[in-house]
Amino acid sequence: MFVLCCSKHSSIQRQLFRRCAAGEKSRMRVLALLALLGCLQLTAAGLPFRLRPRGPWRGSSGPRAQPELSQPAPLISQCKEMWRPTRLDHFSEANPSEFQQRYFVCDKHWREGGSVFFYVGNEADVLLYLNNTGLMWELAPKYNALLVFAEHRYYGQSKPFPAKQLRKNMEWLTSEQAMADYATLIWELREQLKDPDVPVIGFGGSYGGMLGTWFRCKYPHLVDGVIAGSAPIWTYKGERPPYDDGSFAKIVTQDASAEGGSAPACASNVREAWKALMHLGKTEEGRQTIAVALQLCEDSRLDGKADVRALRDWAASAWDYLAMGDYPWPSSYIVNGAQPPLPAFPVRAACEHLADRDLPDDPPALLRALRSAIGVFYNHTRDLECFSFKQGPNPETDEDADFWGYQFWPEPFDEKATIEGCKATWGVTPRPLWATIQWGGRRLEGCSNIVWSNGLLDPWSGGGVLQNITGAKDLVAVIIPEGAHHLDLMFSNPADPPSVCEARAVEEHYIAKWIREARGRPQPSLLQHGALLAAQ
Ligand SMILES: *[C@@H]1O[C@H](CO)[C@@H](O)[C@H](O)[C@H]1NC(C)=O
Ligand SMILES: *[C@@H]1O[C@H](CO)[C@@H](O)[C@H](O)[C@H]1NC(C)=O
Ligand SMILES: *[C@@H]1O[C@H](CO)[C@@H](O)[C@H](O)[C@H]1NC(C)=O
């Protein structure tokens, strides 16, 4: 019945993860890690650029292509790149200008009477999601689905202003505006397909899953249901019970220990390495030792304690990314598609460098081992002569990473420091409670038709929906004990654990149900006022 299945020879240590479903409630307390900024400042109105005169996509009704079993040609060759004008500001008349939003339409499997599978774009070039959202591609033939990948404003190529002017014009970068872009796009697609009742299923991972969740709650007339992979919607201030802002680090640590299949000494060696860094960092001589052991570049001089702390945070964030990207097969998803991919289970690969229990006895050796371990992430290209701890692994996407910092608060969460940081970097003051006031925190009974999936290797799962929500229609939580960041949305792979296959089966069950319900929706009739009067 389900098109997705995995080979049976991949049973990973399921039993090791007992933190499933029920009993998880106490852990789901929240840090206000991701608080949407309500951008308050008013800046000069911008004019749209990037006006590419390409017409809107029109449905094609050619013969249906054969489903493909392997994927030799790049996926993008099955898609058309589209541009559409959309309002810069959907909610005010003060600035009526438009900009060009990019989206991709892939119609190989589309047939009249089919459905639209809509990727709710998040904080990167939308091609990253087109290339990696295998669940949409694998289900498309069976549901005659038109695949649409919509790019989030300000990211990728959907920039409302020329690069140099973007930073001065950030006020229209909000999730509300992005969702309004998607809403108007879906409205247009329906018209182009000449099928006002076409079922639309949303897909999104991470922030895309958060957007997908809010999109379904806000625009249920435009999207019939949403698969939200690893969407940490419960990480905001003001939730009851509050988010456990230690859960992220706790899960990263678990991944780097025997529980996560890693070398047993790894997590404690990493902790010792942080101590060694801070201890050596106190003296000039010690900082010299650190610089040599970690192979730091000339431009990354350690002039004092503050630099050492920044270095430590930079090294620690490698572990955060490795944990999010702890997939059972090689993947470059977490480095934004940059080649070569990270190895399978990259946390375990990093931990192999830190397996020796005696490392703490020799601090320089411990730091050299740490360098090799974080190199699994930062040096995945294996061509860095030295580390510059002010640089990410994929400089081309640094601008997107920057905007991410504008939209969301960094962690670990320190409200005061964060507000100061937002003011200094962006000139805006965050509104910590706005997300919860606007989207409802844990009170989602007014929503329906959402499947949230969470992998327990993923540090974001601590802010996700891990239990079915009762009292509303189809608010379903799916747990993938051996899954990293939205593993279920990726292409299926022989190395997938059975739990992700089961998760995809549940997701497909609901997709099929929502499509049936959308097609069976009773047609509203016009109530004649006169007839009503006459009947009195
Ligand atoms: C997506 O795939 C295409 C074709 O394989 C490639 O050229 C492009 O760099 C990829 N983009 C990302 C962001 O992964
Ligand atoms: C990056 O990897 C290469 C190849 O393994 C290695 O020679 C180089 O020293 C590494 N760079 C750093 C900064 O660790
Ligand atoms: C929620 O309900 C679905 C059945 O619709 C079930 O497959 C799933 O395991 C339940 N989730 C949890 C976390 O119990």
Q: What is the DSSP letter of 464?
A: S
Nearest to 450 by CA among 413, 479, 477, 490: 477
Question: To the nearest whole percent, how much of the chain has pLDDT over 70?
Answer: 82
**Region of residue 337 (phi > 0: left; psi between -120 and 50: alpha; otherwise: beta):** left
> Is residue 453's pLDDT more than 70?
yes
Does 47 contact ligand 2 (Cβ within 6 A)? no
Beta bridge partners of 296: 387
C-alpha span between 243 and 247 (Å, rounded): 8
- Compute, in angstroms, the gap from residue 144 CA to the centroid of ligand 3: 27
Higher pLDDT, 176 or 427: 176
Residue with tokens 């962690």: 411
At 391 the pLDDT is 62
Choose the residue to mutate in 295, 384, 388, 391 for probing ligand 2, maximizing ligand atoms within 8 Å of C-beta.
384
> Is residue 157's pLDDT more than 80?
yes
Side-by-side strand order, sheet with 98-106: 80-87, 98-106, 146-150, 116-120, 200-205, 225-229, 450-455, 475-480
Question: Structural domain boundaries of the chain?
Answer: 79-234+442-519, 247-412
Mean of pLDDT values over 226-243: 95
Which atom of ligand 1 is nearest the CA belonging to 74?
Answer: 5
pLDDT tens digits for range 66-121: 444 454 689 999 999 999 999 999 999 999 999 999 999 999 999 999 999 999 99
**Is 277:263 a contact under the CB 8 Å cutoff?**
no
Higher pLDDT, 375 or 526: 375
- Compute, in angstroms, the gap from residue 118 CA to the centroid of ligand 1: 19
> Is residue 13's pLDDT more than 50?
no
C-alpha span between 296 and 305 (Å, rounded): 16
Higher pLDDT, 319 or 422: 319
Mean residue pLDDT across the chain: 85
Q: At 31, is the secondary structure helix, strand, or coil?
A: coil
Query: Which tokens sit at 110?
Result: 């589309």
pLDDT band at 531 (very low <50, low <70, confident <90, very high): confident
At 413 the pLDDT is 64
| CATH class of the domain whose range is 247-412 | mainly alpha
Q: Give domain 79-234+442-519's CATH superfamily.
A: Alpha/Beta hydrolase fold, catalytic domain (3.40.50.1820)
Q: What is the DSSP letter of 75?
A: G
Mean of pLDDT values over 353-381: 98
pLDDT tens digits for range 42-58: 222 222 222 232 334 54
Q: Cis before residue 241, ω within 30 degrees of 0?
A: yes
Residues ≥6 apart with Cβ < 8 Å to 449: 216, 220, 224, 225, 226, 473, 474, 475, 510, 514
C-alpha span between 142 and 110 (Å, rounded): 10
| Side-chain half-sphere exposure of 66, counting CA atoms within 13 A | 4
- Compute, in angstroms, the gap from residue 122 CA to the centroid of ligand 1: 16
At 527 the pLDDT is 79
pLDDT tens digits for range 236-266: 999 999 999 889 999 999 999 999 999 999 9
| Amino acid, single-letter form, for residue 430 | P
Higher pLDDT, 477 or 425: 477
CA distances from 93 to 29, 45, 115, 164, 218 (A): 39, 11, 34, 25, 21
Lowest mean pLDDT among 75-79, 184-188, 257-261, 395-399: 395-399
| Choice among 109, 152, 485, 486 that is catalytic | 485
Does 387 contact ligand 2 (Cβ within 6 A)? yes
Active site residue 453: no
C-alpha span between 179 and 182 (Å, rounded): 5
Report DSSP letters for 366-419, one per residue. Answer: HHHHHHHHHHHHHTTTS--SSB-TT--S-GGGHHHHHHHHHHS--SS--HHHHH
Within 6 A (CB) of ligand 1 lie: 74, 76, 125, 127-128, 131, 337
* Topology match between the domains 79-234+442-519 and 247-412: no
